[in-house]
């Protein structure tokens, strides 16, 4: 969006705004009830639709609280506002504006009145824009000659094939004077083969720089270690060999955890990494495991590269299995319960608590999320030594309301602020109302689940979200 605050009502649109409209690939026109009250908004619309015809620009429309038919025919409240704007204007201006509104009303767009959640609508629009840009970018590269008179900045990241350089930046004459092309690669021979003279070898961060990078992700906006974490941070950066990718991933994974959780996770990593070896893809895969020693590792079993796997992630869902309440008795006087949580193909497990129908696990199970529509299945079992484990009920966790709240990108709310409440219904397994709350700078959801297919029992869990660097994100 180009927003020119220097335009006053009654003036024509500024040349800078006209140029911005003409250079855009996509224009999104938000038509509200009072859109037609602004003469320069109408002039912008005329310019945008002209670019649609002449420059084949993509135009998307959003009807915000107004009927598309009212825009198309200039009737109702929208038409009344339009007529007031046209008073004392020339007939030619009225004709151009009317035709532009008719054309805009005929473009199939998003009608806000048909959406229950504004944030979800905005997300869909953003996704549509991204998809349209991705489908047109390949066509743009076929028309490289249009760049020969322009000063451009091009960054080619992680190049691993000479053909990529030849296709995108083979000749300096392709670009205008003053242009800059930056190439990053792990293969120095490619730069030599392409006759690139100005090279810079990027070294790993220093010890202090690594600490700053790690703290930025482990403690969010802090670049200095809080009291009590100094030795743990030193161990973590040493394990990562100061490599930025490892610092970011490990820091993000440890964010919000207690010192004892750090100690346990770092101890596991120290066991995984052989002395003197770098933090490889194999060991980074281990980072995606739960804090429980009995939980299987989340591994990439396919041939999909690590970078591709991370970029396909929305993030990580941390499910804290807190406790069981009045669980069923499956042994003589008690039970030895444990919980298995399943999401997609991944199954994670809590420890067994012996002889307790009100066990406290407080166990974090972490799932990589690629599909926001997946349902989480929770099953409680009684551990038996000589016979198959008995089932003690199951429940489903519907995570969509929590993910929808995360998509709102809330910031700066007071601690304990209730964002939304989900009531028990036949569509969920809630024993009581569940609240999504802003707590210590992040959204969490506490749930008490009523177990099905059993005479009694409830399980209390908490949902938390972990953002991962370079992932797709919500």
Dihedral, 82, 87, 89, 94 alpha carbons, nearest 10? 30
Asked if 13 contacts 40 with a C-beta cutoff of 8 angstroms, the reply is: yes
Asked if 169 contacts 179 with a C-beta cutoff of 8 angstroms, the reply is: no
Q: In what order do the strands lie in the sheet with 442-450?
A: 360-369, 315-325, 458-466, 442-450, 434-439, 417-422
Asked if 406 contacts 474 with a C-beta cutoff of 8 angstroms, the reply is: yes
Residues whose CB falls within 8 Å of the CB of residue 313, separated by 6 or more in sequence, listed in order: 368, 369, 370, 468, 471, 472
The single residue of 44, 110, 289, 363 carrying the catalytic annotation is: 44
For residue 209, indicate whether it is catalytic: no
Q: In what order do the strands lie in the sheet with 390-397?
A: 346-349, 337-343, 376-382, 390-397
Closest by CA position to 370, among listed 453, 448, 288: 288
Q: Rounded CA gap, 454 and 112, in Å?
A: 44
Residue the block writes with tokens 């966790």: 397
Largest distance between two CA atoms of the chain: 92
Q: Give the active site residues.
A: 44
């Amino acid at each position: 969006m180009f927003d020119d605050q220097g335009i006053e009502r009654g003036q024509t649109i500024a040349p800078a705004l006209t140029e911005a409209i003409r250079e855009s690939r996509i224009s999104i026109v938000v038509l509200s009830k009072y859109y037609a009250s602004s003469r320069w908004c109408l002039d912008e619309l005329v310019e945008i639709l002209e670019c649609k015809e002449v420059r084949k620009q993509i135009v998307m429309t959003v009807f915000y609280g107004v009927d598309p038919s009212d825009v198309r025919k200039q009737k109702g409240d929208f038409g009344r506002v339009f007529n007031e704007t046209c008073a004392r204007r020339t007939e030619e201006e009225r004709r151009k504006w009317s035709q532009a509104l008719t054309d805009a009303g005929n473009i199939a767009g998003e009608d806000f009145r048909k959406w229950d959640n504004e944030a979800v609508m905005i997300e869909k629009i953003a996704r549509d824009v991204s998809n349209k840009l991705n489908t047109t970018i390949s066509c743009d590269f076929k028309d490289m000659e249009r760049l020969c008179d322009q000063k451009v900045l091009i960054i080619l990241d992680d190049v691993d094939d000479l053909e990529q350089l030849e296709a995108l930046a083979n000749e300096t004459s392709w670009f205008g004077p003053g242009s800059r092309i930056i190439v990053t690669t792990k293969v120095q021979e490619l730069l030599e083969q392409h006759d690139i003279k100005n090279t810079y070898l990027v070294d790993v961060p220093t010890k202090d720089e690594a600490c700053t990078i790690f703290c930025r992700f482990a403690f969010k906006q802090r670049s200095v270690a809080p009291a009590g974490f100094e030795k743990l941070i030193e161990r973590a950066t040493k394990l990562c060999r100061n490599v930025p990718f490892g610092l970011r991933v490990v820091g993000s994974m440890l964010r919000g955890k207690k010192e004892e959780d750090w100690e346990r996770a770092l101890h596991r990593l120290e066991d995984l990494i052989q002395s003197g070896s770098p933090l490889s893809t194999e060991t980074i895969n281990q980072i995606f495991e739960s804090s429980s020693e009995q939980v299987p590792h989340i591994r990439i079993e396919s041939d999909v590269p690590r970078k591709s796997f991370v970029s396909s992630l929305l993030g990580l869902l941390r499910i804290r299995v807190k406790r069981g309440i009045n669980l069923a008795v499956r042994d003589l006087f008690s039970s030895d319960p444990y919980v298995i949580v399943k999401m997609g193909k991944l199954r994670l497990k809590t420890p067994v608590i012996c002889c307790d129908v009100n066990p406290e696990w407080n166990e974090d199970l972490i799932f990589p999320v690629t599909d926001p529509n997946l349902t989480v299945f929770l099953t409680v079992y009684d551990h038996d030594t000589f016979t198959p484990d008995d089932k003690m009920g199951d429940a489903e966790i519907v995570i969509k309301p929590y993910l929808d709240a995360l998509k709102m990108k809330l910031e700066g709310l007071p601690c304990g602020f209730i964002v939304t409440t989900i009531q028990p219904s036949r569509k969920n397994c809630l024993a009581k109302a569940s609240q999504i709350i802003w707590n210590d700078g992040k959204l969490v959801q506490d749930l008490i689940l009523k177990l099905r297919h059993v005479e009694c029992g409830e399980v209390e869990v908490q949902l938390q979200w972990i953002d991962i660097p370079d992932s797709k994100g919500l």
